[in-house]
Amino acid sequence: MRKNVLNNIRTYVLVLLITLASLFVQHTTAYAASGSTTLLNKVSTATANSPIRYNFSLSKKSDIVFTMKTNERIGSTISVKDPTHDTPLQTVYLSTVSENMQYIKELGIYKNSAKINLDAGDYVLELQFENDTNFDFTMEQVSSGAKLNASKLTITKGFTSQIKVVNGGTIKSCASSNKSVTTVTNKGKITAKKNGTATIKVKLTSGKTLFCKVTVVGNRFKAAKADIQDIPYNTTEMRAYSAAFDKKGNIVVKFMTVNNNYGTISGISNFKVTMKNSKKNTTAVYKKASFAASVPSYKSAAYTVTIPKSCLKTSKDKIDLQTSKFVISGKF
């Protein structure tokens, strides 16, 4: 009887610690998914190598996430079985050295997780632990609202992009409709091969199929030409609308100088062009003491500047002009 009382106390302590953990510790498991449905949540005491069984059902093919919390660092085995026989359909071992094993130091709780995919049907879930322990076990059905982080992408020839599944779901395989334009790995990394279009087909472990249309373009920057109505009154700005490499590896930048102010611009001193990539890292800087320009009041004019390849801070093949940002400054 005393042993039962102690076990009950240990269980209550575990429940209290896990409740506190949910309040104060961020849920960081690699398999966390928004919009998931809890199918099973059990807090109990287990005896070493003694199976604990629960029944559950799925109405549709789904990704299933298991989360195990214990107050000791121990391994456990999760088996999913058909109710009509004892042979496991799928087995997951939650190892003490798993990359998903987390230790919540402040509360002394260990947390581990895993994900599988199951067809619709009735199942028996079996838990087994290496040592006696108290545990909190949760089984969640991942939301079927999975989607890609982008349904359309424009990628520069010679560069790559990554597609990901958001709102739950796991990629099973990926394929390109036109491998001469793009290739894609089963992890969603797309490589742009030549100009054109292709559709990336993404199959999830849940059975759902998602699509992303990819357009591959040449390595050049394009934007709308700025005009008076695009900038505030009483201001003057310079904005790039085109950029491309010439045959020598220099970057030819075309820009608009918009003078939405009273007074003619008769020249630009301390002229500077800074180019940054999509990660906001500077890839080129060009400076000139003065730049010849003449723009009347409330008018705009187009100009061209060439950034010598000596001003590049990285090699040409690593500069994606299409996704670059140009900042042009100077004193009018």
Q: Tell me the CATH number at 19.
A: 2.60.120.380
Instruction: For residue 221, give the 3-state DSSP assignment.
Output: strand
pLDDT of 192-236, one tens digit each? 999 999 999 999 887 889 999 999 999 999 999 999 999 999 999
Instruction: For residue 16, give the 3-state DSSP assignment.
Output: helix
Q: Can you tell me the distance from the alpha carbon of 80 to that of 161, in angstroms, rounded to the nearest whole number?
A: 37
Cβ atoms within 10 Å, residue 181 = 21
Same domain for 134 and 61, yes or no, is yes
Q: Which residues have CB under 8 Å from 235's CB, separation 6+? A: 260, 261
Cα of first residue to Cα of last residue in the chain, in angstroms, is 89
Residue 321: give its domain's CATH number.
Answer: 2.60.40
Domain extent, residue 286, equals 220-331
Same domain for 257 and 151, yes or no, is no
| Domain C-terminal end among 96, 113, 141 | 141
Same domain for 300 and 224, yes or no, is yes
Q: How many domains does the chain have?
A: 3
pLDDT of 38-84, one tens digit each? 999 999 999 999 999 999 999 888 889 999 999 889 999 999 999 98
Same domain for 225 and 192, yes or no, is no
Same domain for 232 and 197, yes or no, is no
Same domain for 71 and 202, yes or no, is no
User: Can you give the pLDDT at residue 3?
Assistant: 46
Same domain for 167 and 225, yes or no, is no
Same domain for 94 and 21, yes or no, is yes
Q: Per this entry, what is the length of the chain?
A: 332
C-beta of residue 187 within 8 angstroms of C-beta of residue 171: yes
Same domain for 202 and 258, yes or no, is no
C-beta of residue 92 within 8 angstroms of C-beta of residue 66: yes
Tell me the mean pLDDT in the region 260-269: 96
